[in-house]
Amino acid sequence: MERRGIMQVKFCGLRTMADVEAANRVHPDMAGFVFAHGSSRRIDARTAALLRSRLDPSIRAVGVFCDQDPAAIEELVKNGIIDMIQLHGQESEEMVRQLRRLAPVIRAFRIRSVLDLEAARKTRADMVLLDAGAGEGKTFDWSLTAGFDRPYILAGGLTPENVRIAAALQPWGLDVSSGIETRGRKDPGKMQAFMEAAGCRRIPAPKREMVRQDGMGWARFLLLAASTATGNRKDRKGDSRK
């Protein structure tokens, strides 16, 4: 099955074959493999390759990094283990520019005040991710996103219980990790509940070969981002939050 809703969903921190199989059934748009040092969800390249080989090919694999060697990131992209790069550290904008030649780049920003949104507005990354922490299950003050004028992925402390409110903000995407876990392990029941509460629709997937040809390339990522941005702007014209 493939989900085609307006809002993109990313399940982050898949670590085991059981996680991948559960994700394949529920079908988020993106699945995150964490390579960041110090994370309890960290996996190595070999494990990621194995998991990727079993991940439904129409789910894009995102590598999550924090101040890591660009050569190692490049190898993961070139070996077809990840389709997108998510950066959570102090990477320079020059590094973002270089990495964008390889794959779409999502840059994470920790939002504590409107000032943090300024850097998010300026980055050259293809997509920004607004978060409270880094996989810690914490939310930030979502009202700060009112008037933020570029497409974004909302992350940090999302759960099946609060995702309906998050979706009402109309971000381009939603990213969840802790909120679909129970005692530190991915929970298939919570994955399903999250998708349902986010209002995601499932339709039959196109044939595998078609998925590969039409795969989420770079151009389609940007196109989706741009069309959602236009939609968001249109909707916000009559929005009382303005």
Ligand X SMILES: O=C(O)c1ccccc1N[C@@H]1O[C@H](COP(=O)(O)O)[C@@H](O)[C@H]1O
- Per CB under 6 A, 129 contacts ligand X: yes
DSSP letter for 30, please. Answer: E
Catalytically annotated residue among 66, 131, 175, 200: 131
Would you count residue 31 as binding ligand X (CB under 6 A)? Answer: no
Residue 31's φ and ψ, nearest 5 degrees, are: -125, 135
| Angle in degrees, CA 164, 159, 46, rounded to 5 | 125
Which residue's CB atom is positioned nearest to ligand X?
A: 135
Residue 12 makes contact with ligand X by CB under 6 A: yes
> Is 131 an active-site residue?
yes
230 contact partners, CB below 8 Å, separation of at least 6 = none
List, in order, residues 6 or more apart from 241 with CB less than 8 Å away: 143, 146
Q: Provide the mask over 134-163, with x wherever binding to ligand X is found by CB under 6 A and - wherever it is not.
A: xxxx-----------------xxxx-----
Quote the tokens at residue 11.
Answer: 């399940």
Alpha-carbon gap, residue 40 to 186, rounded angstroms: 12
At closest approach, how far in Å is the CB of 89 from ligand X? Answer: 8
In this chain, which of 61, 103, 127, 176 binds ligand X, going by CB under 6 A? 176
- Interface mask toward ligand X for 192-231; x: CB under 6 A: ----------------------------------------
What is the spatial distance between Cα 242 and Cα 235, in angstroms, rounded to a whole number?
A: 11
Using DSSP, state whether 173 is helix, strand or coil. strand
Q: Are 11 and 176 in contact (CB under 8 A)?
A: yes
Which of 9, 59, 61, 64 forms a contact with ligand X (CB under 6 A)?
Answer: 64
Nearer to ligand X by C-beta: 56 or 160? Answer: 160
Q: Which residues bind ligand X (CB under 6 A)?
A: 12-13, 32, 34, 36, 39, 41, 64, 66, 88, 129, 131, 134-137, 155-158, 175-179
Q: Give me the active site residues, please.
A: 12, 131
